[in-house]
Structure 1
Amino acid sequence: MNKYNEYTKIDLKYITYKTEELLDLAKNRYKITIQIANRAKRCKYEDIDIIDDPVNKPIIKAIIEMVDEITQPEILSD
């Protein structure tokens, strides 16, 4: 059995779309790049009990989370 079957892979087109959406929303590309890198690093080291997902890396998760937070601010209010 292939261990990659255990993980859910995010579609590459979806990742590209979300990245472009984030870049369109960002006023400063450098700042958003630093924020994504810091979030991904924090995620990687905070979740040390979780086995690294070889398919969906922390950087991809950080991009998707940031876009969702910007486009759907109601998810933060819960």
Structure 2
Amino acid sequence: MKKKYQSVSANEVLYRTEELLDAASNRYKITIQVANRAKRRRYEDIDLLEDLRTKPIIRAILEMADEISQPEIISD
């Protein structure tokens, strides 16, 4: 299930980033994971036109914050 992140405010992105960093044991590792996911998504979603408004790095941050805050997403 994909979530739509088209209309996300800057405050929401900052809040989710802090949430993600607080949950991580190593800030460097989580930063690399976010960057790798964004890079992978950028090339996977190149043909999708509906997600052009949200940059891949923001989508990666929001997705990873969702996965950490809602572990039932991962268990599926």
TM-score, normalised by the number of residues in structure 2 = 0.83
Q: Deviations over 1:36-74 (max 9, x none)?
A: 000000000011212361x31000000010011111110
What's the secondary structure of 1:39's corresponding residue? helix
Moved over 2 A (4+): none
Out of 20, 23, 29, the residue aligned to residue 22 of structure 1 is 20
TM-score, normalised by the number of residues in structure 1 = 0.82
- Which residue does the alignment assign to 1:31? 29
Mapped partners of 1:34, 1:75: distance in 2: 21
Unaligned residue ranges in structure 1 (runs of 5+):
1-7
- Which residue does the alignment assign to 1:76? 74
Max radius of gyration: which structure? 1
- Which residue does the alignment assign to 2:38? 40
Number of corresponding residues: 71
Root-mean-square deviation (Å): 1.6
Mapped partners of 1:67, 1:9: distance in 2: 17
Mapped partners of 1:56, 1:48: distance in 2: 13
What's the secondary structure of 1:13's corresponding residue? helix
- Which residue does the alignment assign to 1:58? 56
